[in-house]
Amino acid sequence: MTDMYSSGQTRLIERFKIRLSCCLLTGSMLAASAISMIGSPAHSQQQVRQQYAQPQATGQPAQRARRPAPVESVHRPLTTWPNTVPIPLPPDAKFVAGYQSQYISTKSMTMLRFTTVNPAATVLDWYKRSLQSAGWTLKEMSSIAGRTVSSISGTKNGVSCSINVIAPLSVKDRTSVTISYTDR
């Protein structure tokens, strides 16, 4: 059973990586086609220098060039709830998947997903009470009528978390919770 669960989690993480790669590849292809429409590389470089080096005629300061995407140094799949994450897990929760990532020169990030039989509103209220009593500062995201996702974010001692609670789509489904935790 454990091997079957681990292979399912590995397949889920691999599908996520493939989708992310496709998004990045699509973005690269769009950038390449935009450059080819502008003209020669020398012409493009001159346009970039003019746009970013000199203040615009509107009197606003020139925009800075964007930083490149961070380079991943560690990516580790998780099979259980990690002890290093100070966010409580509801008693009836069933851990589904998770991973920890560390990028060069950035904070480490942990993504966790679990399901529960409790309604989404009950889970969200439980997290509000649990985190506030542990000293977290919470912010509830505005919700849209009819939306099936409710979200809160919190900070404490330089760390942050975001909790998304997804209501079940049918009576057979369970409430799904995704937590993103960023370490110091």
For residues 167 and 81, state if they share a domain.
Answer: yes
For residues 103 and 172, state if they share a domain.
Answer: yes
pLDDT tens string 29-87: 444 444 344 444 455 455 545 555 545 555 566 667 777 766 667 788 899 888 888 88
DSSP state string for 106-130: S--EEEEEEEESS-HHHHHHHHHHH
121 in a structural domain: yes
Residue, of 49 and 143, whose pLDDT is higher: 143
Q: Which residue has the tokens 């020669």?
A: 40
DSSP for residue 50: H
Domain that holds residue 48: 2-53
Residue, of 142 and 138, whose pLDDT is higher: 138
154 in a structural domain: yes
Interatomic CA distance for residues 94 and 117, integer angstroms:
9
Number of H helices, E strands in the chain: 3, 7
Q: Which residue has the tokens 């529960």?
A: 116
Q: Is a pLDDT exceeding 80 seen at residue 25?
A: no
Q: pLDDT-based confidence at 176, cuts 50/70/90? A: very high
For residues 44 and 94, state if they share a domain.
Answer: no
Would you state the pLDDT for residue 47?
53
Nearest to 135 by CA among 87, 183, 181: 87
114 in a structural domain: yes
This prediction has a pTM of 0.59
For residues 32 and 87, state if they share a domain.
Answer: no
Interatomic CA distance for residues 138 and 122, integer angstroms:
17
Q: How many domains does the chain have?
A: 2
For residues 40 and 82, state if they share a domain.
Answer: no
For residues 46 and 77, state if they share a domain.
Answer: no
Residue, of 7 and 65, whose pLDDT is higher: 65
For residues 84 and 146, state if they share a domain.
Answer: yes
Burial category of 151 from C-beta neighbours within 10 Å (exposed 0-12, middle 13-18, buried 19 and up): middle
Would you state the pLDDT for residue 183?
80
For residues 46 and 79, state if they share a domain.
Answer: no
For residues 47 and 10, state if they share a domain.
Answer: yes
Query: What does the pLDDT average to over 134-147?
Result: 79
**pLDDT above 90 covers what percent of the chain?**
28
For residues 46 and 78, state if they share a domain.
Answer: no
